Structure 1
Amino acid sequence: MPAGLVISAPASGVGKTTLTLALARAWRNRGLNVQCFKSGPDYIDPAFHAAATGRASVNVDSWAMDRGGIAHLVGRGADADVVLAEGSMGLFDGVAARGVSGTGATADIAEMLGWPVLLVIDPSGQAQTAAAIAAGLRDYRPGVRLAGVVLNRVASPRHEDLVRRALDDAGIAVFGALPRHAEISLPKRHLGLVQAEEQAEIGKLIDEAARFVAEHVDLDAVLQSAAAWAPQPAANGLNVTPPGQRIALARDAAFSFVYPHMLEAWRAAGADISNFSPLADEAPDASADVCWLPGGYPELHAGKIAANARFRSGLRAFAETRPVHGECGGYMVLGTALTDADGVRHEMAGLLGLETSFAKRRMHLGYRLAELAAPMPGHSPGARLRGHEFHYSTIAAQPDTPLAVVHDATGAVIAETGSRRGNATGTFFHLIAEDR
């Protein structure tokens, strides 16, 4: 029977991903099968999980998914020895208004699955106060159970002793303390960590993290703190409709933000996926009946995309007869132009009138609920789509017919409506699931 554990923290940037990868690899090195999940809308961490475990990881999201969909996804851990769910932000951080089955907080997943929480605490600049924070998190929500704590970035043995004594007085187990060790820090970019496939040394980095954590953390005690878990058969799967029977999917360093559960759901519904690389100047498969451009980092490759005439002409030819959809970065590439961070304007595909700029960055972040005013691949007018938006571009022009009325998690209408022209559609949000 698998053992389930949630890895969380009081805030972002404390070391959740590094500890998750290290534990997963250390236990895998001991011969255990480890399955990881990511709580919340993160495109990057699941690829790191897969690198550490050798098993595909997917997102589970209480704001966008119902309990049946989450149970369906988590069921893939039924044959594992250990199942780890890595949280996002702080343990109780979510949105103000409840979504499908929760607010998007990691605590929702912990309570829903009945898995205890392993807290990563960074006590830099404090000592006994770290115990007060851990105790507050332990007691904040009755349905969420704390397994214990791993301390990260401890300054000295004396510092560790002070924090350990305070946690012991609070009745909180300490499974280990990690001294500062910059060598295992994962590179970051403006949307989060640099993607796993961009790091040639990712295997060595995870091995080093596993070795380091194994030296300082009681792996057996952590494993014993996990909850024995018997997966329950899901009454239903995820509510995801493929956009077509044969999908031409842009996949390379500029177009990599695709939720793994989406691709799996498309294939499970019988769709075929044919990948192509715009950065390699490839056109979409001419035999496909729909083309999908996911998000990623087109702003880092805008000059090359603009110069790749075969890709752009092939995409335009495809859109003359068949639907083309872009999400976030893909939406920007379907537009007229993209201005990069240096202020250089690059011509894009021109299938939509959208113009975006990174010259003056502005963060757009949050859950989105879109009510379609027009069809998009796989979805009819009136469909309610749940997704997430995260980018730093500004809109210079969005002249085409709005695709949807889009609300944020509070219900407020936002300006990023997406747009439609001919067979081309695009949204700034990444689709997670459709309301049933």
Structure 2
Amino acid sequence: MTRHTLALWRLSLLTAIHFTVDMLSGTLPGFLPALRQEYALSLVAGTVLLTLCSFSSNGIQLWAGTLRKAAKRPKLVQLGLLLSCAICFAGLAPQTGAFAFLVVLVLVLGTGVAFAHPEGLRGICAIPEGSVTPAVATSLFMLAGFTGYATGPLIGGVLVEKFGFAGLYFLLIPVGLLLWLFHRARVRLALDNAPEPHAAPAHRASKPVSAVPVSPLTFRELFLLAVLINAGCGIMQGLLPSYMEELGFTLSFGGFSGTLFGLGAGLGAFGTSFLIKRYRVLSCLKLEIAAGIPLLVLYLALAGSRWAACLAPLAGMLVGAGFPQLVVLARTAQGSLALGARMGMIVGGSWGIAGIMLLLAGVAGKYFMLKTAMYLAPACFAAALAMLFILGKRGGSRAVPVQR
């Protein structure tokens, strides 16, 4: 196998594992209505499970990003994939004490997700630029996660609707196959060092320009934007299946609706990865979110009609496309965090804090109807848009590129 082919094979395996890990965590929103009915759980209790999964997967991810800095083999990726299988055993919860059992289960699931992400991103960063550019490689990796989490509600909803909770055992088959293939591929990790800042010269000589785009914002600014975007996406993907079930649709259609939104966000992210070096990033983000908010509001208003589902991927494509762009920019943003820590923060930390909005939406759904609570999602995107305009007017903070 040539070096180029080996790099692409490792990229494929890393993206496949990212897809599978996030798909496993994404199944929970899809069969949550059935879980609530089986064990007599309230909407708030169901939202607590979703939030705990988000907190554990993303909070622990911050710590996981600081582990094994000198490691060259991604053992945490394999362990994370294995622990993520915990969700397959949701049907084993006892009738008495079911909520406590499910809490432990989602915490194990979240820990698995947390372990897989930082080293997975370090594996992506170790892929030679001659094989695929960092922006495209990172976007492919993020697209796999988006697609996995997006298809999770559909897969979980269909399996539970057709086979009961025992249908989740089918998901153990691809996990076993991936663990075997990943072990044989001998994936390596990038060094976990902080970027070395230096002043960018006005004119470059014959030295080639790095394929990694230079961030116009500081890491702190990127992080806050990521929190707002992820909060909106988290509310949509976490509660949309329950909202559709409340409107009278089947479990599978609720999962399908969540999948449409998530797939739109993932495809939009991949498409914009090719534009990130040609156009101003802030302008692209503002245009995407400004166009997506009205579509999202229209979809929520018309969600009771089946045909309105066609609006979900369009809205997701626009409002959710910015997050992977922020992940790419985080590699060169001004800040002192090492690579693994900043990847854990921008991916895990932002999703963890966004989980607070998901919990608030669940509580609001109990007291003000779930339909009203769903509009917190476009409110989060509107806040991100306002921040982008403020940063654009200020000109953003001047960042420095990575020394090559």
Report which of the two has the higher share of helix: 2
TM-score, normalised via structure 2 length: 0.27
| Structure exhibiting the larger radius of gyration computed from Cα positions | 1
Report which of the two has the higher share of strand: 1
Q: Which has the higher contact order (CA 8 A, sep 6+)?
A: 2
TM-score, normalised via structure 1 length: 0.26
